[in-house]
Structure 1
Amino acid sequence: MDVMRSSVASIPRPEALIDKPAVREVIPHDPRYSARWHQHDYPSPIARWNFHPEYEIHLVTQGTGRFIVGDQVGNFTAGQLVMVGPELPHHWISDLAPGEHILGRDIVLQFLDDWIQACIQLMPELGELRSMLSHSTRGIEFLGDTATRAAALLAKIGAATGTDRLLATIGVLGVLAHAPDSERRFIANEWIPSIDDPASAEVVNRTLEYIFTNMNRDVRLSEAAGMIGMSESAFSRYFKRASGHTFSDIVRRLRIAHACKLLDSTADPISTIAHDVGYQNLSNFNRQFLAETAQTPTAYRKRESRLASDPLEHSGQT
């Protein structure tokens, strides 16, 4: 699970948490480079629910799972390329077999607004980046040829130095800025995060771990609250403030996202999939799936099968 692991005792007492806002990741600055490039494994201490003042371009190199960007939850596969704007919370959680460790799952490029705005001021040609930078506050997923070309450039940055590194960095931004509407989609609604509590991300991470570990059974707010050491009402308020989601909403969205993956990747009966994602009542599953996706599970599976056979039918725009 993509979380920092610690004992319950390591979390401050609830009364010390309730009135504090959420955590901010500190991105180390390397004076040799304008933008920070790094690749990390999964699980990893830095692969967690977080936000930061930097823009981030995030490439998944392998595996499948669920992502959370702002107020939205979805599925990812290898090759997913997302740009996350400053202060937008995000998290990628891979499907793992017991004991599995994915080497180099993520390639990440991060840079500050001050740097890119100074570049635009000195080099007016870069003004074409402004619209993309502005829209990244909702998160942008890039698709098709745009994602393929940008991923190839992104992978080269790590080994590059000097002007080659700078040119590759600007090249990635240029490819993304020129993405046609059919090869990009906005992920989340406008986001206003809470700020600066070093404990809130730990609460969110441990709660997400609990949900994923128990996805196929009855997930209870009371159990999650007890695990954290809070009353149910205090935990409910704190989790909403720290993550932007109510506990019940995040459980439902993660279950439906997992169901979408199973509908797309298996031939299992819908009743089996409903049970596998924690719904004991098929009618309730169908109702929740329709409310979340605006489609029935059967219609979703047919549509995904059709798109797989004719990718051009998928516009990628929402």
Structure 2
Amino acid sequence: MKQDQHIWAGSATFEHIEMPENQCFLWRKDNYPWARNVWNFHPEFELHLIRKSSGLCYIGDHIGQFDPGQLTLVGSGLPHDWITLPSDGKHIPERDIVVQFNPETFAGPSQFLIELEELDLLFDKAQFGLEFSPGAAKDASEILEGMGNLSGLDQLVALLSVFSILIKDTSAKTLATSHYLTDFRPGSSLELKRLETALNYLRQNFLQDIKLSDAADAVGMSESAFSRFFKAQTGNTFTQHISSLRLWMAKRLLKETDHPITEICFEAGFSNISNFNRIFLKTTGLRPSDYRKTARRF
């Protein structure tokens, strides 16, 4: 197993993780919002369970919906964030369960404990971020929920049981692209602060007729400089990012409302129905009407 351990000290989005004394991994429940709810990365792997609320998850260049029960494994150095929407400042106690660990903790002993070699493939895939199927997530979450009442060897055995479930999940979905992992390089503290400002600005305004110049002005950059900067840091162009946010809103409206599709097109920020239908079909493989039928089965 080859682990690409990226550590960028001094960066505004680098999260320093301290393991509890006498433990090889960290288990905790996180409230929302809190100081670490930012676009961040760290050398440790992160197993992230959403217990409450829905919103947008950012994993590398992936933008997607999250709902209660979503379980994701994020690899070393892969930027990530989960944003509950609407961002109305509402406090959500214990929204997440987070497990963070150094994969080498389990890779090293595999030379003596052959069974641990099964983790290699799981950890390799997790470098791109993995979202697990509902069935596997449900089984794993039942164990994760109880881990707070355990300690020592009992807690470690529980984590290994979770890994065993995830290894068998052949329906786990890869999130970030290999292109993003190749090209991503974190900027200075100032640049990363600008990125956080830009992402917040776009989340608040993507339903409007927002232009590249608007986002560039919001962070004090020229259009050309902002365009290059945004692509380098998120893996998406400005247009792709806005389109992803609008598609997320359209999917949500299709699933949760009976609004006509033409109306949803404009509610989600698209300017015309033909463009909406084309982008929706290209991205999801389904027409909006077919997506609505499929989404409502679950």
TM-score, with structure 2 as normaliser: 0.89
Alignment-derived partner of residue 84 in structure 1: 74
- Counterpart-to-counterpart distance in 2, 1:201 and 1:220: 21
Tell me, yes or no, if structure 1 residue 185 matches structure 2 residue 196.
no
Alignment-derived partner of residue 143 in structure 1: 133
- Output the amino acid matched with 1:186: T
- Counterpart-to-counterpart distance in 2, 1:270 and 1:287: 13
Alignment-derived partner of residue 262 in structure 1: 253
Alignment-derived partner of residue 15 in structure 2: 25
2:29 and 2:96 in contact (8 A); partners too: yes
Shift of 1:217: 0.9
How many residues of Structure 1 are paired with residues of Structure 2 in the alignment?
286
- Counterpart-to-counterpart distance in 1, 2:115 and 2:190: 42
Shift of 1:76: 1.2
2:29 and 2:97 in contact (8 A); partners too: yes
Alignment-derived partner of residue 242 in structure 1: 233
CA RMSD of aligned residues (A): 2.1
Shift of 1:66: 1.5
1:25 and 1:50 in contact (8 A); partners too: yes
Q: Which runs of 5+ in 1 are unaligned?
A: 1-19, 309-318
1:274 and 1:285 in contact (8 A); partners too: yes
2:69 and 2:134 in contact (8 A); partners too: no
- Counterpart-to-counterpart distance in 2, 1:189 and 1:148: 26
- Counterpart-to-counterpart distance in 2, 1:270 and 1:100: 30
Shift of 1:258: 1.8
Question: Matched residue of 1:158: which SS?
Answer: helix
2:131 and 2:174 in contact (8 A); partners too: yes
Alignment-derived partner of residue 125 in structure 1: 115
- Output the amino acid matched with 1:302: K
Alignment-derived partner of residue 105 in structure 2: 115
Identity of aligned residues (%): 36
Shift of 1:150: 0.8
Q: Deviations over 1:109-157 (max 9, x none)?
A: 1111221212323321111111111111121111233111111111222
Shift of 1:295: 2.0
Tell me, yes or no, if structure 1 residue 104 matches structure 2 residue 88.
no
Shift of 1:97: 6.1
Q: Deviations over 1:83-106 (max 9, x none)?
A: 111122222111236342211111
Q: Which runs of 5+ in 2 are unaligned?
A: 1-9
Alignment-derived partner of residue 63 in structure 2: 73
Question: Matched residue of 1:138: which SS?
Answer: coil
Moved more, 189-198 or 145-154: 189-198
1:24 and 1:195 in contact (8 A); partners too: no
Tell me, yes or no, if structure 1 residue 220 matches structure 2 residue 211.
yes
Task: Between the two structures, name the one with larger relative contact order (CA 8 Å, sep ≥ 6).
Answer: 1
- 1:112 and 1:197, CA in 2 relative to 1: closer, same or farther beyond 3 A? farther
Alignment-derived partner of residue 293 in structure 1: 284
Alignment-derived partner of residue 59 in structure 1: 49
Shift of 1:251: 0.8
Q: Deviations over 1:223-244 (max 9, x none)?
A: 2111111111111111111222
Alignment-derived partner of residue 6 in structure 1: none
Alignment-derived partner of residue 208 in structure 1: 199
Tell me, yes or no, if structure 1 residue 233 matches structure 2 residue 224.
yes
2:107 and 2:116 in contact (8 A); partners too: no
- Counterpart-to-counterpart distance in 2, 1:22 and 1:99: 22
Alignment of 1:147-166 (within 5 A): 147-166=137-156
Q: 2:295 is matched with which residue: 284, 304, 312?
A: 304
Q: Deviations over 1:29-77 (max 9, x none)?
A: 3332101112212222212212221111110001111212222221111
- Counterpart-to-counterpart distance in 2, 1:121 and 1:282: 58
- Counterpart-to-counterpart distance in 1, 2:204 and 2:192: 18
- Counterpart-to-counterpart distance in 1, 2:12 and 2:55: 24
- Counterpart-to-counterpart distance in 1, 2:48 and 2:260: 34
2:49 and 2:97 in contact (8 A); partners too: yes
Alignment of 1:268-287 (within 5 A): 268-287=259-278
Moved more, 81-90 or 29-38: 29-38
- Output the amino acid matched with 1:58: H
- Counterpart-to-counterpart distance in 1, 2:153 and 2:276: 54
- Counterpart-to-counterpart distance in 1, 2:70 and 2:13: 25
- Counterpart-to-counterpart distance in 2, 1:244 and 1:27: 25
- 1:118 and 1:211, CA in 2 relative to 1: closer, same or farther beyond 3 A? same
Alignment-derived partner of residue 36 in structure 2: 46
